Every structure is written in C-alpha cells, then in structure tokens.
Amino acid sequence: MSENNKNGKGIMCPYRKKCGGCQLLNLNYEEQLSHKMKTEIRLLGRFGRVSEIIGMQNPYNYRNKSQYAFASVKGKTVAGVYQSSSHRVVDIESCLITDNRADEICQSVKKLLKSFKLKPFDEASQDGFLRHLLVKTGFKSGEIMVVLVTAKAEFPKKRSFINALIKLHPEITTVVQNVNDKFTSMVLGDKSKILYGGGKITEELCSFKFRISPRAFYQINPVQTEILYNTAMEFADFKGNEAIIDAYCGTGTIGIIASGRVKSVIGVEINGDAIKDAKENARLNSVSNIEFYRSDAGELMKALASRGQRIDTVIMDPARAGADMPFLTSLVKLSPKKVIYISCNPETLARDLTYLTKNGYRARKIQPVDMFPHTSHVETVVLLSK
C-alpha cells in the first residue's frame, strides 16, 4: 500500500480532477471500504445482517479491460477517458486501476499513428481514422487482445502498422479491427476483421477456461471475480442433484462454474453473440449438462413454471438497472427453493429484495465484495430462500 494510504490520505492521481472515473481517491483504501460498508448497511441492513466487505490485498491495476478514446487537441493526438459528463478526452499515460501493459500499448499506438500519418477521429468534422482502442488482458493466461476501433474500413499501410505494433509488444496475441462508421456514443461498431492471431483470447477463472471475444462481457476484476463467484457457490450449497437456472448468463461463466456441482443448468441470455460464446465455452470445458437459450429470462421462467418444471435454484446477475418486474413475477411464480442474487448496484438490489421478501423469500446471507476499488461501485451476493 502506498505511503499516501498509510498516512490516511487519498491517492495522488494527476488526472483525478479531470477524469472523474475514480470517485473515492480522496479516501485511503480502508476508508473506501468503510464508506462502501456504510452504504450497504444503509440500503440492505433491513433485510438481514450484512457481512464485512471483502476488499483487495492490492487494489491497483486490477482492470483486465481498458478502453481509450482518441482525439486531436491543438494538433496533438491524445488518448484516455472522457472527462466526467463530457466528450472531452483526458490524455492519460498511466492509470492506477488499469493493467500497465494496456497503458503501454496505448502509448505505442499514439506514436504509431503519428509515424504512419494517421489521424484520430474528430467528432465535430466526422473526419479521421482511429476512434477508440480496446485492450483485453488475460491475467492468468497472459494473452492480450487489441481492438482498433476505426471510423472507416480502409486501413492505410495496415500490415506495416500491425507488424510495427507486434514488434513493440510481442506479448499481444491477437489484433482486431472494428469499424464504427456511425454517429453514436457506442464504442464498438457492427463489423470486425481479424488482423493478427485468432481474434479471441482465453482466460482461466475458477479452474475453467473461457474464450473472450471483442464484444463479450467478462468481469473486469479477475481477482475479485473468483471471490465473488466462489461466494455464490458457497451460498448455493449445492448437493449434486439440483436443476438450476443461470439468468442473465452472458458468456456462461457462472453456469459453467456451477455445472460440476449440480445435475443440470439452463443458461438464458437475450444477447445472441453472448449465447454463441457461452456454447463455445461449454465445449471448451467439456461441460455436457448445460443448455443455453437466447431468450428473455422472465419469459423462459414463465414458460417453465406453466409446464410445472422443477427448478431448485436461480442464479441471477442482472445489469445495474436490476431485474424488471416481469422477471421478478416470473421468478416468484417459478418458486425455486433458493435464489442467488449477484448485484452491481445496491440501490436496485434493495428495490428487488423488497419485492422478493414480500413474496415468500427471506435474505439469509448478504456479502459485499469490492470489485471496483477507488470507485463508488460495489458488488453484492445475496442468498434468498423460501
């Protein structure tokens, strides 16, 4: 831990006032955990005892996904993050929470743009080449994916550019060009082309392997994700004969991790690309007792309930908005013995727990996990049972 933290002060980050991404940098790490714990107790304490938050031993450089916006400021290429509540790019050379390798790759891309006479994209004129850089890193595998998000498909001196990048960073295992030619705040466009390597990286999580594509959602803090998912498995206390649902399953991580502990798993997700990745991940790990469906999770549960299918446990990991009312009513109708709710937003979690506890469930265990040190975000695992 830094001297600043030992002295009870926040971390001195040169970008903290402009960036705004790390809202709690004015507090040392112990104070951050205390602040988050108070938030959890305030919002969730009425449902049961909130266990002490699980923090990180080393709460720095934990992000396995780094995203950089590119722009030109007074003729100079800058790359970093958008200033809070604006589209002005804060030029960042090194970030406290991103992987150092990603920051180094970003700096190399900036230099290569200049040497190859390629310009960053300008939102006002809609002119220029590079819009964003996305770097995904496998902390255990060591594999690195670089995604160059360009404003047009044409890539001048493409082969020479990629060769130069790989020479500077031989640790890069794949490079993908993604074309985003629309007037949008979305980072990735619809078209992608593999320029080097296989177009995906592989990472290990809880002794399973997962393929990560440019679009795939994958938890950004691999150290705390293992703690989060192991906590969920511990809370579920599977005996081996259960039929379970992994709702909002994404690329199948939680369902696949649970598969060896239960009889059968149904994974459900509305995103078709995620379902393709989930099926590939199941094959990669030789998991045969899991089925994935591209569907609305609430609709699927309603259909299962109407035909009387027994589901013992539902594991749900929704987005920050939480679960919608059709999902919650379908969940209550399906009536599993246990619900494992993994939440990234204690406010929407409190709202959803209010409904579930009024409809036959009780929160038995509540465990916060600090997935995003130095930011105001906190993850929570809750065990509910009938």
Q: Give the chain as a 3 state SS string.
A: CCHHHHCCCCCCCCCHHHHCCCCCCCCCHHHHHHHHHHHHHHHHHHHCCECCCECCCCCCCCECEEEEEEEEECCEEEEEEECCCCCCEEECCCCCCECHHHHHHHHHHHHHHHHCCCCECECCCCECCEEEEEEEECCCCCCEEEEEEECCCCCCCHHHHHHHHHHHCCCEEEEEEEECCCCCCCCCCCEEEEEECCCCEEEEECCEEEEECCCCCCCCCHHHHHHHHHHHHHHHCCCCCCEEEEECCCCCHHHHHHHCCCCEEEEEECCHHHHHHHHHHHHHCCCCCEEEEECCHHHHHHHHHHCCCCCCEEEECCCCCCCCHHHHHHHHHHCCCEEEEEECCHHHHHHHHHHHHCCCCEEEEEEEECCCCCCCCCEEEEEEEC
Give the active site residue among 22, 106, 249, 344: 344
Q: Does the annotation count 19 as an active-site position?
A: no
Mind telling me the catalytic residues?
344
